[in-house]
């Protein structure tokens, strides 16, 4: 589904975590990182247990050089992923955090 289709659904008053996740991922993929972060932040407000959204939110923030915010999103996402047993998201966010720490020290 295109970003425009998702935006149209949002404009019609449909608003849920899955829609916001789709918009966030769409904007992340097109390089519109601030818009991606905006939708992903709304997504995790609607569903704080959405580990994949935390992962993408961290990426969107990192792409804007908001490294502390990215770290916070990934740490929150890591806690959620562990709680849910989402091993893949847990593994990915652990790697992202290690890279961020390495980058901060470098």
Contact 77, 41 (CB under 8 A): no
Q: What is the CATH number of the domain that holds 16?
A: 1.25.40.10
- Residue-wise pLDDT for 31-56, tens only, equals 999 999 999 999 999 999 999 999 99
Q: Give the distance from CA 58 to its chain's centroid.
A: 5
pLDDT higher than 90, residue 103: no
Tell me what pLDDT residue 54 has: 98
* Summary mean pLDDT of the chain: 96
| Number of folded domains that form the chain | 1
Q: How many angstroms separate the Cα of 53 from the Cα of each of 14, 39, 49, 57, 73?
A: 18, 10, 9, 6, 9
Q: Is the pLDDT of residue 1 over 90?
A: no
* pTM score, whole prediction: 0.94
**What is the rounded CA–CA span in Å between residue 84 and residue 75?**
14
CA distance 63 to 15: 25
Range of the domain at 64: 3-105
């Amino acid at each position: 589904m295109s970003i425009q289709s998702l935006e149209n659904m949002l404009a019609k008053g449909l608003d849920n975590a899955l829609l916001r996740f789709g918009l966030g991922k769409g904007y992340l993929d097109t390089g519109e990182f601030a818009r991606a972060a905006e939708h992903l932040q709304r997504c995790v407000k609607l569903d704080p247990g959405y580990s994949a959204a935390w992962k993408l939110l961290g990426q969107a923030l990192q792409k804007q050089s908001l490294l502390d915010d990215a770290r916070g999103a990934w740490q929150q996402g890591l806690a959620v992923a562990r709680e849910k047993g989402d091993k893949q998201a847990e593994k990915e966010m652990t790697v992202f955090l290690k890279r961020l720490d390495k980058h901060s020290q470098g």
